[in-house]
Amino acid sequence: MVAPFGDRLRRARKRAGLSQRVLAVESGVSLSLIRKLEQGERQDTRLETARRLAAALHIPTTALIAAEAGDAAPASGARAAHWADVQTALDPDVPDPRDLDEPPTLAGVRADLDLAITHYTSGNLAGIATFLPGLIRDANTLAGLTDRGRPLRMEVMQITGRLMTQTRNYASAEVAFSLAQAEVPDELHAAALANNTTWLLLRRGRLREAGRLAARWAESLEPRLSRATPEDLSAWGWLLLRTAATASRDARPDDAAHALRLATAAAVTMPPPRPGKTLSRAGFIRRFTRLTVGMQRAEQAMVEDRPDEVLRVARQVGAKHLPPTVGNRNRHLLDVAHAQVLTRQHRDAMETMLLVERDAPEWLPHQRYAKEVLARIVAKRRTLTPDMRRLADTMRLPL
């Protein structure tokens, strides 16, 4: 039986020779919360709080969350029903309910996959939900008709897994990635799958697994920079960023900084894009740039409670002027809003949140982080503006 979080915290604090009061000062976590955790009045806490406590105790975050944080509950009610057909289509025991006159074709499935990727990158989640179940079934049928359909089905499962991860349907994401694993044709696609799986593990709070997977693949993929292709550099760079993300959350800032230095080398080496030339779509790998690394640097600074550094890096990135579909731009802007709240720039923080809502209205409600940032903004106001009330309702902010 795994010891409760409070018991692990108390033992770690005593081993470090700190009183509850000193730990509160060192970590920035309130004394009352530490007492409630150790006394069992609170059974768990946010990953960010665990990281603060672990950093103050000079231990990895995973030493405190030994059981690994449980899955966040997927969206409920109407939002869960939104994805019910996708989840059903992933079940191999459920027959295709459609009565189709003609079998799917390679060209048709590929065109639908391109449309799915376009919807995903633009944040049109409702759009992709309408036809993704049919795409999954067509890909399964095609893979049974021709060997050329198998790699295509793998790509469909990759984008499905990413979508399920994004919408917090984690069990379905795991099924999709498992199905993709069975069809991986080469190392580049396998690396992309590792990148996607690491993201899933990270969102589920399984830091140790995520860190090991990302680090193992980053080490395996490390290229000779003088000969590396854009695809090689992008795959390596994204896995380095996953390594940095898990390390920073696990209170290992030196490991995170090392991964970011290597990621910077990958971005600097990346040749400029040539007109008409795009990356191979292997596993939905996106182009890796210095802006991508900059956003990760800001995220690491936010995890380490350095809001001034977040805003300094954000000025260099200039994400507000980037297209909404660029990399992790919208996630980065949540870090900016959080940093603005912590530096008492509440009006600016609200403007940043409204910008993200404008550009990614379907994406934003699925972000638990966004809800936490908005809660901080609302807590500082005696009277809410109409935009604050509307956004709080949209994101189902608890009363």
Residue 190 included in any domain: no
Q: Which amino acid is present at 176?
A: A
Does residue 71 fall inside a structural domain?
no
Looking at the structure, do residues 179 and 232 belong to the same domain, yes or no?
no
In CATH, what number is assigned to the domain containing residue 55?
1.10.260.40
Residue 101 lies in a domain: yes
User: Within this chain, do residues 253 and 357 fall inside the same structural domain, yes or no?
Assistant: no
- What distance, in Å, lies between the first and last C-alpha atoms of the chain? 35
Q: Are residues 84 and 155 in the same domain?
A: yes
Alpha carbon distance 141, 149 (integer Å): 9
The whole domain housing 313 covers 289-399
Evaluate whether residue 194 is within a structural domain: no
Q: Are residues 171 and 270 in the same domain?
A: no
Contact 117, 192 (CB under 8 A): no
Instruction: Supply the pLDDT for residue 71.
Output: 42
Q: Is residue 29 part of a domain?
A: yes
Residue 277's pLDDT is: 53
pLDDT in tens, 84-130: 888 899 988 888 776 666 788 898 888 888 888 888 887 888 778 87
The pLDDT assigned to 68 comes to: 39
CATH number of residue 343's parent domain? 1.25.40
Give the number of other CB atoms < 10 A from CB of residue 161: 29
User: Six-digit token pair at 250?
Assistant: 């696990």
- Domain termination residue (choose one: 17, 39, 64): 64
Q: How high is the pLDDT of residue 383?
A: 83
297 and 373, same domain (yes or no): yes
User: Shortest CA distance to 395 belongs to which of 364, 369, 373?
Assistant: 364
Residue 189 belongs to some domain of the structure: no
- Domain stops at, among 287, 307, 330: 287
Q: What is the number of domains present in the chain?
A: 4
pLDDT tens, residue by residue, 213-228: 999 999 999 998 888 8
Residue at 192 is within a domain: no
Give the C-alpha distances (Å, rounded to integers) separating 134 from 86, 91, 116.
9, 13, 11
The mean pLDDT value for 165-183 works out to: 92
Shared-domain flag, residues 45 and 80: no
Phi, psi of 291 (to 5 degrees): -60, -40
Q: Look at residue 69 and tell me if it is in a domain.
A: no
Which spans in 146-186 are helix H? 149-166, 170-181
Together in a domain, 55 and 87 = no
Contact 215, 195 (CB under 8 A): no
Q: Which of 287, 309, 330 is the last residue of a domain?
A: 287
